[in-house]
Amino acid sequence: MTVKDKVAIVTGASRGIGLSVATALVREGARVFAASRSAPPNDVMSPQLRAIPTDVRSQTEVDRAVEQVLNEAGTVDILVNNAGLEYFKPLDQTSETEYDEMLDTNLRGAFLFSRAILPAFKARHSGHLVFVNSVAGLRGFSQDAVYSASKHALLGLADSLEEELRPEGIRVTSIFPGATDTVLPAASWSPVDDPRRTYFLHPADVAAAVLYALTQPPRVAVSRIVLRPMIEPPYSDFLSVDLARRLSEGSPNLSGE
């Protein structure tokens, strides 16, 4: 399977994972509409990558964006729900405004876009919904309660839609990246000078996982993909930077002796 000549909407596509997904789809021949509050950088814009200014939290703006894509492209084949927001702090220091912003961006935005696109998918009995989640959607993290809750809810939405939409010929995939070198952790728990960031996932790694799910043959449904950097074990703290370096170099002497 290929995404060549497919029409895709990618939310939160102005930077980070969303931008990497959008540009990867364009490289593979897709026509991509980047739905985010700010536009992607000018140097990546092209006739195959269009920006549609959209606040994913607004039903009016989401419905308008989907209508614009359908009017211009005639169809939509792929929706990548990627927009996300995180405030990393203890629960008793989290304001109601921050709670609302995280839930509205991480969950409501995916709900609104998915709901708006489904009539077009159902009319053709095809389409692919991709939810860029987080490993925080699989387990809770200290000082990240509301973000984790929003991502757990996003998993519930995606899993339920997979059951609901499979008979319609519509595929649903959730992607769960671990620590990724983007501005989201830089603004919260991993500043730009954090030495561990050298060993984080790159946005292109997540984009490759999205492409993998999208390019499977029709008989294959990829429900979940979990990817973490080697420095990040699933259930314990990060490995040391020295060990991460040796792992990345393929050193047989992992003990450092």
In sequence order, which residues have a C-beta less than 8 Å from that of residue 157 and are 6 or more positions away? 107, 110, 111, 114, 131
Separation of alpha carbons 26 and 174, rounded Å: 21
HSE value, Cβ hemisphere, 13 Å, CA-based, for 90? 2
The residue from 87, 99, 147, 235 that is catalytic is: 147
Helix (H) or strand (E) holding 33: strand 31-36
* 87 assigned to active site: no
Of residues 194, 200, 162, the one with CA closest to residue 181: 200
224 strand-pairing partners: 174
Active site residues: 147
